[in-house]
Structure 1
Amino acid sequence: MPAALPLLLTMPLLCATDDWPQWRGPTRDGVWHEEGLLKSFPNEKLELRWTVPIGQGYSGPTVADGRVFVADKIDEPAETERVHCFDAATGDHIWSHAYPCNYAGIGYDAGPRCSVLVHGGKAYSLGAAGNLFCFDASQGQVLWSHDLQATYEIEMPIWGIAASPIVEGDLLIVPVSGKDAYLVAFDLKTGEERWKSQSDRGNYSAPIVIDQAGQRVLVCWSGDRVIGAAPATGKLIWEHPFPAHKMPLGVAAPVLAGDLLFITGFYDGSLLLRLDQDQPRVEEVWKRRGQNELRTDGLHSTISTPLVLDGHIYGVDSYGQLRCLRLEDGERVWEDLSAVPKARWSTIHFIQNGTTTWMFNERGELMIARLSPEGFKELSRASLLEPTRGQLNQREGVCWSHPAFAGKHVFARNDKELVCADLSAR
């Protein structure tokens, strides 16, 4: 049972328009469309509406139809991944599904990486070892499932499978990284394979779907190249080389800004492409890569996806440096070291709400800020969650999972608990 406060009875019910049903929000762009939010935090530590115990994992929570979904892993009595569903208003447990998993060869084995995706009354989960499930979202019955590792002969990336699937039309498109099956599309209702495409080795970067030259285009960075494919068929539309010179290491998704597409990775720096809107093709605008992971140029992001505002890129570099770049040429405008402690792969998740940027750093702190070419303006900061060592057994632990924002509340997890806090204006 969750530890809840009496104030919970006043919590507004979450409605469909408030949902956060997939990784990085309704349209996978890290934008939060709500009003009536706090301008500053009343205390240094956020008051929690409820908290429930969970196991380890990197999977960020998602929220849909009044429910919160999250995946985790336990190791006793055997390696087991679990998918949980809780009531968003109370934290009460609704259902869970557990299944055996094998993390042999997977580094950072704390648990699932991908967020549960909720669509059309169904919940889709993908484990780090390739266990794909479709559940009835309200009751938790398994409607269909696949062992992707067995079916597609995955050459497992060192971090396991981390790129969250995406829904397009009646398809669930999954970056599988399998033999002749980097991308695989499944029928949402039946789980039947509809197509498989490309033979790239795979990366951790999740795909997005954009509109270009009058058609829908699935965009992803495979670790070898940036790919534009037809989501209905998997057919390659365009490609641009962006090979990893060591190993593909980038969780950040491609970022769309008008007719520009920004891609970034830890070892390989930044790439900006221009999308032709008359015919489906791309051209390189600029590319920047530093001498090494310490002496960087542009932006070498690892886990967090940058954001683009008014002709500037804001993101976290390889060791936690918050940077602003000019979009047109990648030149650095400023760097700030106060948002998160400097450390390898140090992380901040960015969520844009109007002119305000909400930032959740790996120390479990939630910040309200303004980002502009003039600098990082911190308006308020409060502790939401304690870092834990399951995700990273260094620097007193981390909070690397992406939070969810729904119904004027934030939902976040570490390796011990899932929490909810009210962010509505008082």
Structure 2
Amino acid sequence: MSPTLPPSPVGAFVFLVLAAALTGTARAADWPHWHGPQRDSVWRETGVLAAFPPGGPPVRWRTPIAAGYSSPVVAGGRVFVLDRPRSQTRGNTGGALKRMAEPGVERVLCLDERTGRILWTHEYDCPYDLSYPSGPRAAPEVDGDRVYTLGAEGHLHCLEAETGRVLWSRHYPRDFAARTPLWGFASAPVVEGDLLLCLTGGDAHTLHALDKRTGEVRWRALPPREPGYSTPVVVEAGGTRQVLAWDAEAISGLRPATGEVLWSVPFKTKLAHAIGSPRLAGDLLLLSTFFDGSKLLRLAADRPAAAEVWSIRGPSETRTEGLHSLMGTPFIADGHIYGVCAFGQLRCLRLETGERVWETLGPTTANGKPARHVTAFLVRHEDRFFLYNELGQLLLLRLTPAGCEELGRAQLVKPTNRAGVREVHWSHPAFANRAVFVRNDEEIAAFDLTAR
């Protein structure tokens, strides 16, 4: 009898249960979506270090890649990321509000999670006409044996995860008459059941749901307007499942199966600065944007509806109240909001009122001085947070209403992009299988975060 075959029906049952359990464990440790496996910026894996060793986390591997802002994702022993080879621009030398035309290609890369070896590459022609033309923005989305990717000029691909073979594709400008936003398409596609949710913009509708197997349009919703840059989230609220889509004009709740708009609350953002994802904690939904401050909504418990709790906006970007986030999505924990404000201030606010409790510049800036558009990303793990700042540093923090306690800091990669005169690195890390995966415009790297 082969040792790989169970000897009896009972043995077969036990074998299959154990195999399923092991498979579930492996998948639970992956990071297949924007903001993680449950899309909530929480890393739930155990056996992770509580302090950095001397010299920082050990390097598992480093692999050269090209430029881009796209976050890596990790699933099934593979790492997926997008880049733009031969890009000649870092940041935007012509100014943040100026489109820059540049020929070139985009690529989807698949790497071996264990070794960093490139397994396959999918490359396509993609001239740019946008601001900050270094490379793609949106994180890939992995669903089973498929990976979905979106480029900065609206090239949507469904690829076979194992081989990179194109199964179907769409192009937002061609198929939905969508004009590329000033800073490129950045809203990651989101799988919901049999659908792929895409915040496209366009001449007729702003949100499209595609059949994830074929790419065919299943429904269209929301009137035509600037899509912004925020990735939708799907939640259970008011006794029903809802897609929360935030565009440049409003935050809306929709029925996933049909696209029916269940409710909508206006929140017009200057320059379409809807970038971070909507953040739900219990029945409270938070939105934050650079120019227009923050808005807190309460989702009804007995029906799909939303009502404003508070809206706070400072008199200017240098005199902010509440929280004016740029790219990072704030985190809500224990009745408080933690997030990075317009000039790099890591702030704690009271959730129910938006009142500021404390702020600090230490974790986010090079010299403790404020700077415009400073960006950092927060991921919670157990009783602490990982903060990844624009300098390429990973910090271990304990964030409480009493203050910010720094537990460790490690330089992972160098900042290779530019924002004005500042060297920056604007790409969200992925946390999976007791490691952190980060990329800049020159390399992607994995660092071991296993507890010793």
Q: TM-score, normalised by structure 2?
A: 0.89
Which residue number corresponds to residue 196 of structure 1? 220
- Over alpha carbons, which structure has the higher Rg? 2
Structure 2 counterpart of 1:36, one-letter code = G
Matched, 1:82 2:107: yes
Once the 2 structures are TM-superposed, how far is the Cα of residue 356 of structure 1 from its aligned partner?
1.1
Query: Displacement of 1:121 after TM fit?
Result: 0.7
- Aligned residue number for residue 339 of structure 2: 315
Instruction: Give 1:348 shift.
Output: 1.2
Letter matched to residue 207 of structure 1: P
Of 121, 128, 142, the residue aligned with 2:152 is 128
Alignment map for 1:314-333 (pairs within 5 Å): 314-333=338-357
Contact 1:124 1:132 in 2 (8 A): yes
1:220 to 245, 248, 260: 245
Residue 53 of structure 1 is matched in structure 2 by 64
Check conservation: 1:221, 1:254, Cα contact below 8 A. yes
The SS at the match of 2:132 is: coil
Shift of 1:394: 3.1
Question: What is the deviation of 1:379?
Answer: 0.6
Residues in 2 aligned to 1:225 and 1:140: alpha-carbon distance in whole angstroms = 36
What amino acid is the match of 2:147?
A
The match for 1:412 among 438, 443, 450 is 438
- Measure, in 1, the Cα distance between the counterparts of 2:420 and 2:157: 29
**Cα displacement string for residues 22-53 of structure 1 (whole angstroms, at most 9, x for unaligned residues):** 11101111000111111211234443110001
Residues 1:156 and 2:172 aligned together: no
Match of 2:73 in 1: 62
Q: CA deviation at 1:178?
A: 1.2
Residues in 2 aligned to 1:158 and 1:34: alpha-carbon distance in whole angstroms: 37
Q: Is the 8 A contact 1:44 1:381 kept in 2?
A: no
Q: Does 1:394 align with 2:416?
A: no
Q: Indicate if the aligned counterparts of 1:15 and 1:66 stay in contact, CA closer than 8 A.
A: no
For 1:273 and 1:318, locate their aligned partners in 2 and report how far apart those are by CA, in whole Å.
21
Residue aligned with 2:325, SS:
coil
Cα distance in 1, alignment partners of residues 391 and 164 from structure 2: 33
Count of aligned pairs: 410
**Runs of 5+ in structure 1 lacking a partner?**
1-12
Could you list the runs of 5+ residues in structure 2 that have no partner in the other structure?
1-22, 89-102
Q: Write the letter of the residue equivalent to 2:386.
A: W
Q: Say if 2:53 is the partner of 1:42.
A: yes
Question: Which residue does 1:230 correspond to in 2?
Answer: 255
The CA RMSD over aligned residues, in Å, is 1.4
Distance 1:335 1:194 in 2: 45
Separation of aligned partners in 1, 2:189 and 2:149: 9
Shift of 1:277: 1.1
Residues 347-378 of structure 1 show CA distances to partners (whole Å, capped at 9, x for unaligned) of: 11111111111111111111111100000011
Q: Distance in 2 between matches of 1:392 and 1:423?
A: 30
Q: Which amino acid aligns with 1:335?
A: E
Distance 1:166 1:197 in 2: 15
Q: Which moved more, 1:252-261 or 1:343-352?
A: 343-352
Write the distance in 1 (CA, Å) between the matches of 2:36 and 2:352. 27
The one-letter code sitting in structure 1 at the alignment partner of 2:434 is: K
Q: 1:392 to 1:81 in 2, by over 3 A?
A: farther
1:8-407 matches, cutoff 5 A? 15-75=26-86, 78-104=103-129, 106-198=130-222, 199-244=224-269, 246-341=270-365, 342-389=370-417, 392=419, 394-395=421-422, 397-407=423-433
Structure 1 residue matching 2:236: 3-state secondary structure: strand
Farther-moved stretch of structure 1 (367-376 vs 76-85): 76-85
Aligned to 1:189, the other structure's residue is in SS state coil
Q: CA deviation at 1:155?
A: 2.7
CA contact (8 A) 1:171 1:185 kept: yes
Q: State how far apart, in whole Å, the 2-side matches of 1:352 and 1:205 are.
A: 20
**Matched residues in 2 for 1:67 and 1:251: separation?**
27
SS in 2 for 1:150: helix
Tell me by how many angstroms 1:193 deviates: 1.0
Q: Which stretch of the first structure deviates more once superposed, 58-67 or 233-242?
A: 233-242
Q: Is the 8 A contact 2:69 2:426 kept in 1?
A: yes
